[in-house]
A = this chain, B = another copy of it.
Amino acid sequence: MMPFKEMARLDKLIHEPARLSIMSALEACSMAEFLFLQELTGLTKGNMSSHLSKLEKANYVLIGKSFLRKKIPQTTIQITPTGSQALIEYWKQIDHIREITKQWSQETSIAFPG
């Protein structure tokens, strides 16, 4: 297949920058609180919340709600094995795309020099 068609297959759930940053942060922390994650990513609360919902729906993250000292609500987020795998796949695909694009570029410059 032509290398460029491969880009259309990138996992859009991960590709979106806000979610890519969430997923990357979660891959680094084994578990993160909502507010900590918000600070790391710089997203607004509403934005965080809706992106997390999408990731949860895809089973990329696990969201746990509990209460601190039985009072203050605390939401914790973990990446799931599915999510972790998807992130790895995503970067692998990015690498592959860059590699074959570079190859194709070289072949083209040989075929049509100057």
Chain B nearest CB from A111 CB (Å) reads 10
Chain A, residues 3-33, CB within 8 Å of chain B (1/0): the string is 1111110101001011011101101111000
Chain B nearest CB from A20 CB (Å) reads 5
A105 interfacial contact with B, CB 8 Å: yes
Q: Are A17 and B10 in contact (CB under 8 A)?
A: yes
A40 interfacial contact with B, CB 8 Å: yes
| Residues of A15-71 whose CB lies within 8 A of B | 15, 17-18, 20-22, 24-25, 27-30, 39-43
A94 interfacial contact with B, CB 8 Å: yes
Q: Are B101 and A41 in contact (CB under 8 A)?
A: no
Task: Find chain B residues with CB under 8 A from A101 CB.
Answer: 24, 27-28
Binding site for B on A (CB under 8 A): 2-8, 10, 12, 15, 17-18, 20-22, 24-25, 27-30, 39-43, 91, 94, 97-98, 101, 104-105, 108-109, 112
- Between A and B, 15 residue pairs with Cβ closer than 8 Å are A4-B22, A5-B21, A5-B40, A5-B41, A5-B42, A7-B20, A7-B21, A8-B21, A8-B43, A28-B104, A28-B105, A29-B108, A29-B112, A30-B112, A91-B98
